[in-house]
Every structure is written in C-alpha cells, then in structure tokens.
C-alpha cells in the first residue's frame, strides 16, 4: 500500500468512529500533513475530543488534553523551573504542551496570558525559560476548542495572534441519519468495547507524507488564483465597493502560505498529485475565517467573515 493509500485508509477508519463529521476528520488530517494547528468551534458533545483521540490511537505519538480554566497559569501549559534541593539547582519541568497531539479544550475560558503562552509555543515550537530553550516535538499538533456561545466569564482570543492557527473550523450538529448511526455505534461500543485501531502510522511516515505533500504540483494558473484571493482580501474595495466597506484587514502572508499548504494537503489526501482551484476554494473558508478583520460597520450589519469569504470566492475570477 502506498503512503497515500495508507492515509486514505486512515481517513475511512476515522470516519467509522466519527460519524457525519467528515469535515472535522479531514481538517485534522490536513493539519497533520500541513504541520499546523486547528481551532475548532462547535457546541459541546460534537465529537471534538473523540476525533483527536481517535487520531492519536492511529498514530505513533502521545496525546494530552489541557482543560483551560480561569485559574490556569501560563506555566501550567508550558512548564516551570523547579528547585531541586538535592542538587541546589533549578530544573525545568516540562508542561503538558510537550506532547505530540494536544487538545486545548475550551481555550477561551482561560485569560489572555495563558492563551498567548499557548499560541506563542504553537508558533515558535519551543519554550524559552530564562536563557534556555526547550524545543517541542517535531510531531506537534494542537487542536484548540471554543464554544460558539460566548458564555459569561470567557475571554476572547487575541485577534493578532489568531493566525498561528492553520485553520479555524466550525462544526455543526450531525444530520438525522448520522445521529442514528452515532446512537447505534455508541450502543455497540458499550456492549462490545471499542475495536483496536487497524491502521497505525509512524511519525516517520507522517514526515514522509509531508514531503510528498510539498511535492504536489501546483500549476501557475492555480497559484495566480490563490494569490488573487489573498490580495483581494487586502484590497477588496478595488473588486467590489461593498466588500471594501466591510473589510478592515485582510489575510497576511501567513494566510497565503496556509492556503497553499492546506490546498496541497487536501489534493494529496484525495489521491492526486496536483492542486485544482477547487482545492483552494474548498479550504478557503477555514484558512481565511480567522484572518479577516471586519469593520464596525460590517459587524453592525450582521456580516461575518464567512459572508466576506463567500463574496471573495464569487468575485475573484478562477484563472485555471
């Protein structure tokens, strides 16, 4: 079986455990292939924990969940220096971020300084303490979750740092059919216990897959289209005066790179060795959603980043 087929098999195995949330599963795999992190927004009970745990079951690597709470400290995430009386020295005790797959649950329940510590670590892939730095594992994926209903006592994420997330995924309730299948699966698991993971992927295979993804071919016309979308998000007024009125800030170069990586990963996951404009369009919402800043005017009119992205996709001509 080729590596591409192995990942395809992993995807279908995961779909059997996480029913009717194909987007979530696909985005998790894209994040793994594109070496990025996910922000997942969705109501409680929508299989967010189940999804990342299931992925961990199929991967060589460890999993850790950090529950974000108002009293959490940055060092509870990153780790801290501990005094060892035996040696008379300070020793760095690694925090829970030193794992391969990290679930940062309900990230908006912790104050800004804790969120920043996580986002910084995600971006820099290391923890600095005094003069020393401790690199995080090469296989390092954070999935942060956020409840869409802003509850009392929650802290909004720092907008300027949000683009450390490769994608911002929004998930919704499953369909009626999926709900039935979930019920049957849960009954079955309760009776028989869960079967062990059939596909196992090593860290080395993940790195190999990442190399393959970076070799996926992108025609010049597709690259033009990708760039046109990002540039249009920065200067939307030139395309459509209304869009200009709605958008305060567009996507940064980080957004451009993310769009490229995600489109490639999706193409590869779908068994191709070339990117199509549809790959770019498919990931555009999740890649751009948290990178656009709307004007007050737009927000007052009830616009969301999704409205703007849809309009960008409708207006920017596909060049391929």
Q: Give residues in contact with ligand ADP (CB under 6 A).
A: 18-21, 44-50, 174, 182, 185-186
How far does CA 51 lie from the centroid of its chain? 13
Footprint of Mg ion (CB under 5 A)? 49
The answer to whether the beta carbons of residues 111 and 158 sit under 8 Å apart is no
Q: Are strands 38-41 and 63-67 parallel, antiparallel or unpaired?
A: unpaired
Nearest approach in angstroms of CB 167 to ligand ADP is 17
Nearest approach in angstroms of CB 77 to ligand ADP is 19
What is the rounded distance in angstroms from the CA atom of residue 96 to the CA atom of residue 67?
11
What is the rounded distance in angstroms from the CA atom of residue 28 to the CA atom of residue 49?
12
Nearer Cβ to ligand ADP (16/113): 16
Nearest approach in angstroms of CB 173 to ligand ADP is 9
The answer to whether the beta carbons of residues 48 and 17 sit under 8 Å apart is no
Nearest approach in angstroms of CB 179 to ligand ADP is 8
With a CB cutoff of 8 Å and minimum separation 6, the contacts of 281 are: 313
3-state helix, strand, coil in the chain (%, to 5): 50, 15, 30
Nearer Cβ to ligand ADP (148/156): 148
Nearer Cβ to ligand ADP (19/34): 19
Nearest approach in angstroms of CB 76 to ligand ADP is 20
Nearest approach in angstroms of CB 20 to ligand ADP is 5
Nearer Cβ to Mg ion (66/309): 66
Nearest approach in angstroms of CB 57 to ligand ADP is 13
Nearer Cβ to ligand ADP (65/254): 65
**Strand locations in 152-311, DSSP E?**
167-170, 247-249, 293-294
Nearer Cβ to Mg ion (49/295): 49
Cα-based distances in Å from 231 to 49, 236, 242, 312: 36, 8, 16, 10
Q: Phi and psi dihedrals of 72, rounded to 5?
A: -70, 145
Identify any residues that bridge with 128 across adjacent strands, giving them in sequence order. 133
The answer to whether the beta carbons of residues 36 and 265 sit under 8 Å apart is no
Decide which of Mg ion, ligand ADP, none touches 75; Cβ closer than 5 to 8 Å per partner kind. Answer: none
What is the rounded distance in angstroms from the CA atom of residue 248 to the CA atom of residue 234?
8
Decide which of ligand ADP, Mg ion, none touches 21; Cβ closer than 5 to 8 Å per partner kind. Answer: ligand ADP
Nearer Cβ to ligand ADP (22/297): 22
Decide which of Mg ion, ligand ADP, none touches 116; Cβ closer than 5 to 8 Å per partner kind. Answer: none
How far does CA 95 lie from the centroid of its chain? 21
Cβ-proximal residue to Mg ion, closest one? 49
């Amino acid at each position: 079986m080729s590596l591409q087929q192995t990942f395809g098999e992993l995807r279908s195995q995961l779909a059997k455990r996480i029913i009717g949330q194909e987007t979530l599963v696909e985005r998790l795999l894209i994040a793994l292939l594109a070496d990025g992190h996910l922000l997942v927004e969705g109501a409680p009970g929508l299989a967010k924990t189940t999804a990342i745990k299931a992925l961990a079951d199929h991967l060589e690597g460890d999993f850790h969940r950090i529950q974000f709470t108002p009293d959490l400290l940055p060092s509870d995430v990153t780790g801290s220096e501990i005094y060892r009386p035996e040696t008379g020295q300070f020793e760095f005790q690694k925090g829970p971020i030193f794992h391969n797959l990290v679930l940062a649950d309900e990230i908006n329940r912790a104050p800004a300084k804790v969120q920043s510590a996580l986002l910084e670590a995600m971006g820099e892939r290391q923890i600095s303490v005094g003069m020393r730095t401790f690199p995080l594992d090469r296989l390092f994926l954070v999935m942060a979750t956020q409840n869409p209903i802003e509850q009392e006592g929650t802290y909004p994420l720092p907008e300027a740092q949000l683009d450390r997330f490769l994608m911002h995924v929004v998930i919704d309730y499953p369909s009626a059919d999926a709900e039935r299948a979930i019920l049957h699966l849960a009954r079955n698991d309760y009776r028989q216990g869960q079967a062990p993971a059939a596909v196992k992927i090593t860290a080395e295979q993940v790195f190999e897959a990442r190399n393959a993804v970076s070799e996926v071919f992108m025609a010049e016309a597709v690259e033009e289209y990708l760039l046109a979308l990002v540039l249009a998000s920065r200067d939307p007024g030139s395309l459509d005066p209304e869009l200009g009125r709605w958008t305060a800030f567009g996507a940064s170069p980080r957004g451009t790179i993310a769009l490229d990586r995600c489109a490639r990963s999706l193409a590869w996951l779908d068994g191709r060795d070339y990117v199509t404009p549809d790959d770019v369009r498919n990931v555009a919402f999740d890649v751009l959603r948290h990178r656009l800043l709307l004007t007050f005017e737009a927000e007052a009119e009830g616009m969301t980043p999704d409205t703007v992205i849809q309009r960008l996709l409708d207006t920017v001509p596909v060049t391929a």
